[in-house]
Amino acid sequence: MLQDYIQSAKNIIVYKDGEPTNIDNIQSELIDLFEGSYSTPSFVQVSQNDLSMSIQKGIWIEIEFENSITIGTTSVDKILFAIKPKYNFLTIVKFLDNKLITKCTCLNLSKNTNKIFDTINQK
């Protein structure tokens, strides 16, 4: 599902403690991570203020798409999510036309986040 859109992503930015970081092969790491994943509804709601503070800590990945895609039942053109070790899901924060969609989506992964977390932390 989502891995199909990663190859044509307009922009992928990795943030470590709020700072953009260049990670070689991040696109292929994300394709591998998303393989076999599926989305489910989430009860998580996010505000712009909370998000601005959260992105200052830990690892976050922002993916901007050339055209809008559908995740669950929502059209989006940008997503943002935190990478934490040993997780087998991601809470996806969604945007459309640079506007935050407050209802998140849960992306259930077929593998955990250890590999991509370790790759990013080595930088």
- How many domains are there within the chain? 1
Q: Residue 40 in contact with residue 106, Cβ under 8 Å?
A: yes
Q: Which of 52, 62, 51, 50 lies closest to 21 in space, CA to CA? A: 62
pTM (two decimals): 0.93
Domain of residue 14: give its range. Answer: 2-121
Instruction: Find the Cα–Cα–Cα–Cα dihedral 44, 109, 75, 69, rounded to 10°.
Output: 160
Tens of pLDDT, residues 51-85: 888 999 999 999 999 999 988 788 999 999 999 99
Tens of pLDDT, residues 14-60: 999 999 999 989 999 999 999 999 988 888 899 988 888 899 999 99
